[in-house]
Amino acid sequence: MIPTNYYIVLSAILFGLGVLAFIFKRNIISIFMSIELMLNAVNLAFVAFSQAMHKLDGQVFVLFVIVVAAAEAAVGLAIIILTARNRQSLNVERVDLLKL
């Protein structure tokens, strides 16, 4: 049996990679994907703990996360398409109107 620690470390590494990509990537689609990566890193942690503690709560939670991620993907992609249409670009640097 693989110890829980391994899963947690893997989850942390994945999450860290997601964060780094989230910060440094310029393409909106890449950023979007890094968010998905972070969500799934968390899912991995949930499942690992669920297994380790013999409780189902973690697995139920993972299902919720997947549902939310799907909804988020639908809305997010719609926004991305609109942005791409308006600006003819997917570079996030050019989205800078979010201020008063």
Of the ranges 17-25, 43-51, 55-63, 68-76, which one interacts with other proteins (CB under 8 A)?
17-25
Nearer to other proteins, 29 or 59 (CB): 29
* Cα 54 from Cα 48, distance rounded (Å): 10
Residues 30-49 that bind other proteins (CB under 8 A): 31
**Secondary structure of residue 72 in the 3-state scheme:** helix
* Residue 2 φ/ψ region, left for φ over 0, alpha for ψ in the -120 to 50 degree band, beta for the rest: beta
Nearer to other proteins, 2 or 97 (CB): 97
**Secondary structure of residue 27 in the 3-state scheme:** strand
Nearer to other proteins, 23 or 70 (CB): 23
Q: Which residues bind other proteins (CB under 8 A)?
A: 19, 22-23, 26, 31, 92-93, 95-100
